Amino acid sequence: MSVSTAPARTSHVNRISAALAALVAAAAFAGTYLFDPVPPGLPGLGAVEFPRLICVIILGLAVLLALQEPGAPDPDNVAPDGPALAIWGCCLLFLPVMALVGLLGAGALFLVAAGWIWGERRIPLLLAVSGGLTLALWLVFVKAFRLTLPGGLVFGG
């Protein structure tokens, strides 16, 4: 499988990261106004002071980061192409499929689908690895560690 040939991103990474951090801090600060009020008479700090302090610190650090010189773009930071987005999509679909066929069933399907998209074209090998790994996971986690894994609609649980 060859390296993805999507172009590398140009880098204003510091400013974008700083903006995102500031956005998160601002949203979190605003969120503190939705907290229930603290019962009167309790000593010491309330529930809002510490999160607000952290938000202010993040805002300050974001300003510092935005003022830093941007580094050179990393040539290894290739943009995700179609197959990469498809693999990410499989990760997102994992949970709804798990609700249907359970965690082990979703895992087996994911191993085949993601492996195929990743570039493995030997179907028998994909199926064998998927089946073998699923069996191993069942033996270790369900039988040995006695974990109850979701069975989904099809397999119950």
Partner 1 sequence: MMMVVLGTVLGIFVGALPGISGSTTIALMLPMTIAMGPIPAICFLGAIYCAANFGGSITAILVNAPGDPSASATALEGYKMAEKGQAGLALGMSAVSSAIGGIVSVIVLIFAAPMLARAAYSFGPPEYFALALFGLSMCAAIGGDSAAKNLIAAALGLLIATVGMDLTTGVERYAFGVMELSDGIGFVPVLIGLFAVGEMLDQAARRYGKAQIIFADAARVPGWAEMKKCMRSIWIGSGIGTFIGALPALGATTAALIGYNETRRWSKHKEEFGKGSIEGVAGPEAANNAAVGGSMVPTLALGIPGSATTAIILAGLIVQGIRPGPHLFTEQPTLLYAVFASMLAANIFYLVMGLSMARLFARISLIPPAFLWPAVFVLSVIGAYGPNQSLGDVYVMLAAGVVGFLFRRAGFSPAPLIMGLVLGGMVEETLKQSLIIFGDDAGSVLAGFLGRPIALVLFAVTAAGLLWPVAARLFRGRRAAQA
Position 92 contacts partner 1 (CB under 8 A): yes
CA angle 93, 85, 125 (to 5 degrees): 70
Q: Most distant CA pair in the chain: distance in Å?
A: 69
The position carrying tokens 């195929």 is 116
Position 46 contacts partner 1 (CB under 8 A): yes
Position 131 contacts partner 1 (CB under 8 A): no
Position 97 contacts partner 1 (CB under 8 A): no
What DSSP designation does 19 have? H
Position 129 contacts partner 1 (CB under 8 A): yes
Position 149 contacts partner 1 (CB under 8 A): yes
* One character per residue 53-82, x = contact with partner 1 (rule: CB under 8 A): -xx-xx--xx-xx--x--x--x-xxxxxx-
